[in-house]
Structure 1
Amino acid sequence: MRKYGVADTTFSRVDMGKEAIRVISKEDPEAQIVRYTVPGIKDLPAAAKRLLDAGCDGVITLGWVGRTQLDKYSYIAASVGLIFVQIMTSKHVMDVTVHEDETNEERLAQVAIDRARKHALNLVRLVRDGPNSLTPLAGKGLRQGYEDAGSLD
């Protein structure tokens, strides 16, 4: 049985974990899903590692980055940590992050929900269908959180 990890934060202003779980449950209904909520983005690497150590085949991390320079530095540290977890485990960790200054506040919830859903689907495809499952989508200019940019071909 496949097992997915969903790690999210209390700092997030949208329940992206709930959205990711909905997608994973729909796309891979036989799979087990384990959720792990931590305070902030710098805690996500440990959560992801613990989920993978507990037998998850892949993890989606859902973080929220504030507007300050310190928040941005915290995100860089968390992102490097998540990359390190992937290297240590040879498993996918989808780093899904919303930055408060990327759009206006009214649009942020839509961005967060769309990004969580689309990356959850990407994780399912990689875990369930294998490493070449996204290859047919290469070069399409697909985006998470916004409209697709489209291919230049």
Structure 2
Amino acid sequence: MPTIGIADTTFARYNMGAAAIDELKNSISAKLIRVTVPGIKDLPVASKKLLEEQNCDIVIALGMPGKQPQDKICAHEASQGIMMAQLMTNKHIIEVFVHEDEGKDDQELKFLMEQRSREHAQNVVKMLTRPEKMIQEAGTGQREGFADANPL
């Protein structure tokens, strides 16, 4: 049975971790381990600890960068940390960020946070159980949250 880590934040304005967990529970038989940290810059170490100390096979890291210019910098730093943690552990951490300015209003932002969390949870399931499905979807313009783009 695989072990999946879920790392999320208190800064997010929606419970992205709960959405991902609900999707995972409905899609795969796995041990789920959740940790919640204050913000996105805390996600890299939380994810690395899930991989190394809790022996997770994969982690989904969920967070919401704010809309201010400094928040964009923090998101970049967090992404760099997540990439470093992946390279240090040789395991995937699926980064799921929804920037606060991605939605035109709170309703659309909530929808996007829910959908992106669930769709990336499905990516985790595919990566663990059906990697050939990921290959079949290569180049198809898959987008998590909003409508898929058309392939060229």
TM-score (norm 1): 0.94
Partner of 1:136: 136
Aligned to 2:116: 115
Hey, what's the Cα distance between the residues in 2 that align with 1:133 and 1:36? Answer: 29
Deviation at 1:139, TM superposition (A): 1.2
> Which deviates further from its counterpart, 115-124 or 100-109?
100-109
Give a deviation string over 1:103-126, Cα, whole Å, max 9, x none. 212200001111000001101111
1:11 aligns with 2:11: yes
Quote the residue 2:39 is aligned against. 40
**Contact 1:62/1:96 (8 A) holds in 2:** yes
Q: Distance in 2 between matches of 1:133 and 1:126?
A: 8
Q: Distance in 2 between matches of 1:60 and 1:133?
A: 19
Unaligned runs of 5+ in 1: none
C-alpha deviation, 1:142, in angstroms: 1.1
Give the aligned residue type for 1:120. A
| TM value normalised by structure 2 | 0.95
Q: Paired residue for 2:84?
A: 84
| Structure 2 gaps, min length 5 | none
Q: How far apart in 2 are the matches of 1:107 and 1:12?
A: 15
Distance 1:128 1:139 in 2: 20
1:133 Cα deviation after fit: 3.5
Match of 2:28 in 1: 28
Q: CA deviation at 1:145?
A: 1.0
Aligned pairs, number:
150
- Report how far residue 151 of structure 1 moved: 1.3
Matched to 1:123, the amino acid is V
Distance 1:17 1:78 in 2: 17
Conserved 8 A contact 1:20-1:120? yes
- Paired residue secondary structure (1:65): coil
Amino acid at match of 1:122: N
Find the counterpart in structure 1 of residue 49 from structure 2: 50
Residue in 1 that maps onto 2:128: 127
User: What is the root-mean-square deviation in Å for CA atoms of aligned residues?
Assistant: 1.0
Q: Aligned AA for 1:118?
A: E
User: Could you list the runs of 4 or more consecutive aligned residues of structure 1 that deviate by over 3 angstroms after TM superposition?
Assistant: none
Distance 2:56 2:86 in 1: 13
Distance 1:17 1:103 in 2: 19
Amino acid at match of 1:50: K
Partner of 1:68: 68
User: 1:83 & 1:52 partners in 2: Cα distance?
Assistant: 13
